[in-house]
Amino acid sequence: MHLLYNIVVHIAALLVKIIANFNPKIKLFVQGRKNIYNTLSKNISVKDDVIWVHTASLGEYEQGLPVIEKLKKNYPTYKFVVTFFSPSGYQVKKDDNIANAIVYMPLDTLKNAKKFIKAVNPKLAVFVKYEIWPNHLKILKEKQIPTLLVSAYFKKEQLFFKWYGSFMRKSLTAFTHFFVQDSNSKNLLKSIGFNNCTVSGDTRFDRVSKILEQNNELDFMTNFTQNKTCVVAGSTWPKGHLFLIDYINNTSAKNIKFVIAPHNIITDQIEELKNSIHKKVVLFSEINNNDISDFDVLIIDTIGILTKVYSYAHIAYIGGGFTKGGLHNTLEPAVFGVPILIGPIYKGFKEAEDLVQLKGVLPAANQNEFTSVLDLLISKKEHYNSTAEINKNYVAQNIGATNKIASYIGTLLVNK
């Protein structure tokens, strides 16, 4: 099975090089990997004590970040290497100063794994959530490098738990310890013979809880909202825009402001969105210190400020819930105690599943449901308050994963 896996990986490597000629994102995926060893050689040496943290993309990076920050504080003499698999994560964070080197993870061939791990020579490897790469894990195990999987979330549908999944189950033996999000994940691991597991929760709760400690004031938002009810639509996609636009265009309420922050900042799509709204609309890029208090809708055509914008929200709509695997971060608005509206597809996102069950996150599958949910939150204060409290309490009750992980890592590094 290992031989078959390696054949498939080599074929995939060839295919992505061909596809890169026609696909800009895949081109980044291929071109970025050419600079791995040059970046590493400039920033770390064989004499350094290194901790390697691997994340798939931006979401997993946010989960790994609290652990990195804690370890940097606890072990200031160590250097840190962060790797990404996806261009969407790497391109956003490649210049972040959280690590000594931020690079792509090489494709998971045995040759690549040997070369990369020799170059990094980590004292500890930390993989985040779903990242299981058999060849890299094989070499880490052979070199007896302590390796952790943190904020892990297992589901019975995954290959590890199928009768034909022995190859991937074997890869799990490389992990020194698993820190999982819930007891179901722990029980699934136990069912296939892994007892080296702790239910720690999700480190993202620690990450978002720190948002409350920062200064979230934005002068343009204060000017725009004028203390009126503010609906913030974050990380939105065109399908969700249809419901949102219909609501904005048809509501007769005068005391509501709307903020839309599309996931993709594409000029033509932003212009199309703006033109489809029949009320007074302004783009963030058009503000230029002007008074925007008279506008009804603000479109955020930039990145990096959405977290602070959520602090002004009374209600949040989070995009991505109309396509499989696409729901975006619901915890960032939840930490502010904001009721949240999403699309109907949220399975696999534990925090969304939990909050839907608790009724702090409210799914809507069509226009009628979308309109009804918003109208009820706006018009019924008691319903609004109870929904908001659910989300605020949920985040507060789930912090602490980072300290559990860091405490365990302390016992590992003492012995290195």
Residues annotated as catalytic are 60
Beta-bridged to residue 257, according to DSSP, are 230
- What's the rounded Cα separation, in Å, for the pair 3 and 5? 5
Measuring CA to CA, how many Å separate 93 from each of 11, 62, 90? 29, 11, 5
3-state secondary structure of 262: strand
- Could you identify the residue written with the tokens 């055509």? 301
Any idea what the Cα angle at residue 282 is, between residues 281 and 285, rounded to 5°?
Answer: 155
Residue 310 token pair: 């959520």
- What's the rounded Cα separation, in Å, for the pair 98 and 53? 11
| Cβ neighbours for 361, distance < 8 A, ≥ 6 positions apart | 330, 334, 340, 341, 342, 346, 352, 355, 391
* DSSP sequence for 196-221: -EEE---THHHHHHGGGGS----HHH
10 Å Cβ neighbour count for 264? 11
Question: Which of 33, 174, 32, 55 lies closest to 116 in space, CA to CA?
Answer: 33
* DSSP sequence for 29-43: HHHHGGGHHHHHHHH
Burial of 411 (0-12, 13-18, 19+ CB in 10 A): exposed
| Cβ neighbours for 64, distance < 8 A, ≥ 6 positions apart | 53, 55, 82, 126, 128, 150, 151, 203
- What's the rounded Cα separation, in Å, for the pair 216 and 167? 47
Burial of 97 (0-12, 13-18, 19+ CB in 10 A): exposed
